[in-house]
Amino acid sequence: MRQVTIHAAKTNLSRLIEAALRGEEVVIAKGSRPVVRLVPVSRGAFTIGLLKDKLGSGPDFFEPMSDKELDGWEGGA
């Protein structure tokens, strides 16, 4: 376990983050009293296409608008 003061943590933050990412326990202390533990954020596995076939189809933005829809956008009655 590595314990550093707040001042040393501000000075060496990049090195401390790298140490935490390597699995080393890093504790930041106020004076001699430990107050914070620096740990990496756990990331869940991201799956592409997770909601495929579950949301249905959305609007096709490349299809031309109907005359009624187009009139609404252009301020027609």
Report how many domains make up the chain: 1
26 within a domain of the structure (yes/no): yes
Quote the domain boundaries for residue 33: 2-38
20 within a domain of the structure (yes/no): yes
At 15 the pLDDT is: 96
At 60 the pLDDT is: 80
Q: In this structure, are strands 33-38 and 26-30 parallel, antiparallel, or unpaired?
A: antiparallel
* Per-run averaged pLDDT (10 residues), the chain, 77 residues: 94 96 95 95 81 79 86 80
Q: Which two tokens mark 8?
A: 């040393």
Q: What are phi and psi of 22, to 5 degrees?
A: -80, -5
Q: What are phi and psi of 59, to 5 degrees?
A: -70, 150
7 within a domain of the structure (yes/no): yes
